[in-house]
Structure 1
Amino acid sequence: MQLDHSGRLSSPWFGGAAAALAVVLWALVPLLVARAGELPPLRLSTLALLAGALGTLPMAHRRRHRDAPLSGAQRGLVYLGVPMLITGAVGASFAAFGRAPAEEAALILYAWPVLFLLASRYLSLGRLPAGTLLGAGLAFSGAALLVAPQALAGGVSGAWDGYALALLGALCWALYSLACQRSHWRLGERMHHQLLIASLMVGGASLALEGTAALPSPDVLLTGALLGFGPYGLAMLAWDRALRDPQAHRLGNLAHAVPVLATLFLVMAGVTQPDWRLPLAALLVVAGSLAASR
């Protein structure tokens, strides 16, 4: 799949379409994870990452470039560091959905665009403007709106482990997006390798921590394959393309719509009940993220 050298695919609309596709596919993750409830999180992560590696293989950009080859340290970052980020992001996300209510874990997890924005702003400007910090605080207040009632009712015995895992996943996704901006690393062309390495990492952890189990049902296998081909295959290629767009700083704002869509999909599927806190918290995340991006 050629991403950069076709006039049609390099149009300004293509970057926005790629980002929108990634957002919609990522918003389906909580619902798909809920449908695959019988699989332990690490085993589900292994299946999804393996399916993603197979799904991105025919779409990988195989054209040779004249760029300087990667150094030894860069190869270590691309083929070890980035797969570790993918492993942490996917594994922590799936575990979070199993330990906390899906809609709350999703809202915390998908606050990662704020973390990505703060890091990229600091790296580019050498400082964080007051407006950026104010917007980030407003966005995080959306997550606090959901977490605080749980903490007040049950203290640290509530779903804090799920919240912590969701925050870990958010940190990994933010760092992964920063890595995608390193154009000479060409992560999109190496996506299938990175997903395969990540699936081996998570598979080893699954065998050590979760042991062996019988083969899951065909429906669960299909759900894991859909997770891989969509949110962790096509969506990651699309997001890599969007981050290399000249308007990437604007396209990144589309990622703030993920918690809103994720909550909407969960309510529409009957997985969770409508709650007045959910739309308000989602609006705070979106409003704060957009304010920070200005």
Structure 2
Amino acid sequence: MSHNPKATMIGSIAILLWSTLALFTTQANVVPPLLLLTLTFGVASLLFFLVYLIKGELKTSWKQTPKSAIIMGGLGFYFYHFCYFYAFQHAPPVEAGLIAYLWPLFIVLMAGMTKGNSLSWAHLAGAIIAFIGTGIMLQSKGNIEDAGNTTYHWTGYGAAFACALIWSSYSVANRRYQSVPSSAVLWYCLITTLLAGASHLTLEEQDWSLPLSTWMAILGLGFGPVGIAFFCWDFGVKKGNLSLLGVLSYTAPALSTAWLGLFTDAILTTGQVIACLLITAGALFASLMPNKKMPSTSEAKGI
């Protein structure tokens, strides 16, 4: 099968956009997580709605998308991003981002335990490498952080780890809906917006007086890693080189950490850099085991 180099390049834009999720989130960390979830997915929902309305695919998308898929997708998007935003408000951004990016590794491990697949030595070795990296990262941070804030940070670490578990579980379960059109993402985003909005009104204090810079970050999240990235990825995986895109996706943790180091006041320690390399290498090593049936990276991101 021939691959369109242009489509592969467009697909790689999605990976680049996803790597900015942590950066934009840190710029909007003054926003309560449920409100941030409501606003960013509201922007994404509006974007998807207008695009598919213009393309005339709204009715067909609704008819072709099982309600069980809409519920699962909406809940998956909601809980993953809530935990992600919460983690970045309750833990240092570099550590939170690296822990959350354990999801590619978890997908490989979970897929190896499903029917018709098996775990290999490469999967286990990759897991060990990545978890060693996580341990180095946490130990490195522990040496310099204030002991009085340890509980506060570990709450964020737990939320980041939940991100990895939620997204990997959702992605593997989503294999049952391979025939669902990619336009179903609209309904996932809409469900997420409604759930987040109701949760915000119930659980959080209503205060929309946000500075302009925060609103810009919210728009950046909604249009970029939560919005346009899905369009780029859909085009790339359908017409481009999926194998190459799958390998490139494991650069996201390193890119995410690099953006935080370059554009925020986060100071990267030697331990964090080593951890980033080990987590990325562990996930990549486990995913490249030959002759094993693994989920595609498009499924990894729920497309």
Structure-1-length-normalised TM-score: 0.84
How far 1:249 sits from its partner (Å)? 5.4
Q: Map of 1:132-211 to 2, 5 A cutoff? A: 132-150=123-141, 154=147, 157=151, 159-178=153-172, 181=175, 182-186=177-181, 188-211=182-205
Compared CA separation, residues 78 and 244, structure 1 to 2 (3 A): farther
How far 1:48 sits from its partner (Å)? 0.6
Q: Counterpart in 1 of 2:301?
A: none
Identity of aligned residues (%): 27
How far 1:63 sits from its partner (Å)? 5.4
Q: Counterpart in 2 of 1:224?
A: 218
How far 1:291 sits from its partner (Å)? 1.3
Compared CA separation, residues 245 and 169, structure 1 to 2 (3 A): farther
Separation in 1, partners of 2:265, 2:98: 15
Question: 1:104, 1:146 within 8 Å by CA — same for their partners in 2?
Answer: yes
Q: Map of 1:16-27 to 2, 5 A cutoff? A: 16-27=8-19
Q: Is 1:43 aligned to residue 35 of structure 2?
A: yes
Separation in 1, partners of 2:171, 2:154: 26
Question: 2:102, 2:164 within 8 Å by CA — same for their partners in 1?
Answer: yes
Query: Which of 278, 282, 298 is equivalent to 1:288?
Result: 282
Compared CA separation, residues 65 and 120, structure 1 to 2 (3 A): farther
Separation in 2, partners of 1:215, 1:248: 43
Question: 2:36, 2:218 within 8 Å by CA — same for their partners in 1?
Answer: yes
How far 1:106 sits from its partner (Å)? 0.2
SS in 2 for 1:56: helix
Compared CA separation, residues 112 and 242, structure 1 to 2 (3 A): farther
How far 1:51 sits from its partner (Å)? 0.7
Compared CA separation, residues 204 and 131, structure 1 to 2 (3 A): same
SS in 2 for 1:140: helix
Worse overlay, 159-168 or 139-148: 139-148
Compared CA separation, residues 166 and 15, structure 1 to 2 (3 A): farther
How far 1:272 sits from its partner (Å)? 0.4
Separation in 2, partners of 1:178, 1:65: 27
Query: Which of 269, 275, 280 is equivalent to 1:275?
Result: 269
Q: Which amino acid aligns with 2:156?
A: G
SS in 1 for 2:179: helix
Worse overlay, 168-177 or 191-200: 168-177
Q: Is 1:112 aligned to residue 106 of structure 2?
A: no
How far 1:149 sits from its partner (Å)? 4.2
How far 1:148 sits from its partner (Å)? 3.1
Query: Which of 89, 93, 114 is equivalent to 1:123?
Result: 114
SS in 1 for 2:183: coil
Question: 1:142, 1:282 within 8 Å by CA — same for their partners in 2?
Answer: yes
How far 1:15 sits from its partner (Å)? 5.5
Question: 1:135, 1:289 within 8 Å by CA — same for their partners in 2?
Answer: yes
Query: Which of 81, 89, 97 is equivalent to 1:90?
Result: 81
Question: 2:20, 2:259 within 8 Å by CA — same for their partners in 1?
Answer: yes
Compared CA separation, residues 82 and 52, structure 1 to 2 (3 A): same
Q: Over aligned residues, Cα RMSD in angstroms?
A: 3.0
Aligned length, in residue pairs: 281
Question: 1:19, 1:252 within 8 Å by CA — same for their partners in 2?
Answer: no
User: What is the CA deviation profile of residues 101-125 of structure 1, one whole-angstrom value per residue up to 9, with x for unaligned ones?
Assistant: 0000000001111111222343364
How far 1:175 sits from its partner (Å)? 3.2
Q: Which amino acid aligns with 1:140?
A: F
Compared CA separation, residues 210 and 246, structure 1 to 2 (3 A): same
Gaps of 5+ in 2: 290-303
Question: 2:11, 2:240 within 8 Å by CA — same for their partners in 1?
Answer: no
Worse overlay, 79-88 or 214-223: 214-223
How far 1:180 sits from its partner (Å)? 5.3
How far 1:243 sits from its partner (Å)? 5.4
Q: Counterpart in 2 of 1:252?
A: 246
Structure-2-length-normalised TM-score: 0.82
Q: Counterpart in 1 of 2:293?
A: none
Worse overlay, 171-180 or 237-246: 237-246
Compared CA separation, residues 223 and 281, structure 1 to 2 (3 A): same
